[in-house]
Amino acid sequence: MRYLILNKPYEVLTQFTDEQGRATLKDFVPVPGVYPVGRLDFDSEGLLLLTDDKQLQHRLSDPRYKVPKTYWAQVEGQPTEAALEPLRQGVTIKDGPTQPAAARTLPDAVEADLWPRTPPIRYRASIPASWVEIVIAEGMNRQVRKMTAAVGLPCLRLVRVALGELTLSGLAPGQWRDLTAAEVADLRALAGAGQTHPRPTRPAWSGSSGSSGSSNKLGSSTPTTARRPGPRRARS
């Protein structure tokens, strides 16, 4: 079986064909028979897992198995504890109530650790932009964007930086690599593959505000909750 990690670029569809001629996974991953685990929206970026392991694909995508997905969201305005607390309790969006998420502010310096987005977000001097880290275990349509909007923080840019403890580990946009046997084993354990019932998980931190911790070029920075694998050769 194959297990691949891709740094999905901005404005790429999480599918292999498109009748409108937009960029798809086929433009970046020349591996037949693998399919994305979950979805990452056209205008979102970052970590995407692809595999032909149907059982693992199902368990990593199913919210019953509570696999944490970590996002960095650039939002309009300055997040306060009062704004982030509803995210930690669960908010109601168009698709229904969300489960409690982990949410905290990030220092503005994390932007320097990410790759530049093309095109860049629209700059407005009168409205500051800030970064927050959000960890969810669901996968509603455009969920993180709807969650931040619900607390008055419209999302300008969204990057998935981790799935469980798996990170992008230096992959540039459009690059991919095979997972190691140890990484696959970690994912299978996280999703309870081979178990009858889902095993409960919860974020490794409480959700209070603070810095993101260490810097490791995610293409750069990596959340403190995530393991940082050593560098590996990427394929473009």
- 60-98 pLDDT, tens digit each: 988 888 899 999 999 999 999 999 999 999 999 998 999
Rounded CA separation 59/192 (Å): 8
In-domain check, residue 112: yes
**Residue 8, domain CATH:** 3.30.2350.10
The answer to whether residue 170 is domain-embedded is yes
Q: Lowest mean pLDDT: which of 26-40, 84-98, 109-123?
A: 109-123
Examine the residue annotation and report whether 108 is marked as an active-site residue of this protein. no
Per the structure, the count of domains in the chain is: 1
DSSP-based three-state secondary structure for 81? helix
**Considering the domain boundaries, does residue 226 fall inside one?**
no
Q: Indicate whether 113 belongs to any domain.
A: yes
Question: In the chain, pLDDT over 70 holds for what percent of residues?
Answer: 82
Is the model's pLDDT at 119 over the cut of 50?
yes
Residue 147, in any domain of the structure: yes
Q: Are 42 and 11 in contact (CB under 8 A)?
A: yes
Which residues are 32's β-sheet partners?
none
CA distance 196 to 20: 42
Where would I find the beta strands (DSSP E) of the chain?
A: 3-8, 35-36, 45-51, 69-76, 92-93, 96-97, 102-106, 129-136, 155-163, 166-167, 176-178
Between 179 and 216, whose confidence is greater? 179
Q: What is the pLDDT of residue 217?
A: 55
Residue 85 lies in a domain: yes
The catalytic position among 18, 41, 43, 113 is 41
Q: Which range marks the domain in which residue 24 is found?
A: 3-190
What is the band of 134 on the pLDDT scale with cuts at 50, 70, 90? very high
Residue 197 placed within a domain = no
Would 47 be classed as within a structural domain?
yes
